[in-house]
Amino acid sequence: MRKKINVGKAFLFIFLTIYAVITVIPFIWALSASFKPLNEILSGGLNFIPETFTVDNYITIFTEQGLFPRWLLNSVIVAVIGTALNLVFNSMAGYALARISFPGRTVWFIIVLAVLMIPMQVTMIPNFLILRELGWLNSYQGLIVPGMINATFIFMMRQFFVNFPKEVEEAAAIDGLGRIGTFFRIVMPMAKPALGAQAIFVFMAFWNNFMAPLIIMTDASMYTLPVGLNAFQSDYATYWNYIMAASMVFTLPVLLLYIFFNQFFLKGLSFRGDK
């Protein structure tokens, strides 16, 4: 009996290992190409370890491809500010919906839930026209402001604050803190786990977004990395060494976030999976 189970397990282990290899090979292949000179890449060899190891590709994209550092900067600005605003605004809205009783609260809660179901394709054309009227095309605020709240995370923060111990706020009130002081100095610091999960997913959404910057940023110097990378590939289709180096630079920040905040990822995911 025991032997049979082990055979089954070994089979599963092999299956999982093969799938892990399939998952990881494209990344390793790209990483290896980013350290190879172009002629080695185009020679069609299958070596994962570069014959001639070079960091020239990285140096070139930062020093000679004038716009690449700019795209990186644009991406960082949009993603960092966008994430910070989301953390504050989603939490404020979630807190109000959970803890403050004001007329219209139920209606706004329903609206937040309804907004969750709107596909962005419907709003993208009108939003383009609105941003054009505001003169916000080719601007950071054009990308940040429409995305500075997120209904999913307002909902998540509401669920978090509903279960938040009332005694903490009461104690703060006795100490003479007003509502705003209580929220920012007592409640927010205690919401770290929920904020951690939120920060990662919002940052990733801004960082990886392709469609919004494609529509809103028409001036090449305002591109974010995904749009810039695509434009670069169309212009320099054969320079896979640079494209792969740029791709690696692009992936690194999210990868670091993932490594450092792994446990928040799973929390955020299981929340999303809770329907």
Partner 1 sequence: MAKWKLSKSQLRETGQGYLFMSPAILTIVVFLIGPILFALFLAFNRVNLLGDVSFDFVWFDNFTRMANDERALIALKNTAFYVGIVVPVQTILALVLASSLNAGMKGEKWFRVIYFLPTLTSSAVLVMIFMWMYRPDGLINTLLSGVGLPTYNWVNDPSVALISIMIMNIWATAPFFMVIYLAALQDIPDSLYEAAELDGASGIQKFWHVTVPLLRPVTAFAVIMGIIGTFQLFDQSYMFSGGSGGPNNSTLTVVLLIYQYAFSNNQMGYAAALAVALALIILTATLIQRKLQKDEQVY
Nearer to partner 1 by Cβ, of 163 and 237: the residue is 237
Sites for partner 1 among residues 71-90 (CB under 8 A): 85, 88-90
Among 44, 66, 165, 189, binds partner 1 (CB under 8 A): 44
CA–CA dist 175, 160 (Å, integer) = 24
Sites for partner 1 among residues 197-216 (CB under 8 A): 204, 207-208, 210-211, 214-215
Q: Is 245 in the site for partner 1 (CB under 8 A)?
A: no
Q: Is 6 in the site for partner 1 (CB under 8 A)?
A: no
Judged on CB neighbours under 10 Å (0-12, 13-18, 19+), 199 is: buried
CA–CA dist 273, 269 (Å, integer) = 6
Sites for partner 1 among residues 101-130 (CB under 8 A): 101-103, 105, 108, 111-112, 115, 117-130
Residue 60's closest CA among 69, 51, 52, 71? Answer: 69
Nearer to partner 1 by Cβ, of 49 and 122: the residue is 122
Q: Is 176 in the site for partner 1 (CB under 8 A)?
A: no
Sites for partner 1 among residues 12-41 (CB under 8 A): 12-13, 15-16, 19-20, 22-24, 26-27, 29-30, 33
Contacts for 169 with CB less than 8 Å, ≥ 6 apart: 99, 182, 186, 187
Number of CB atoms found within 10 A of residue 210's CB: 13
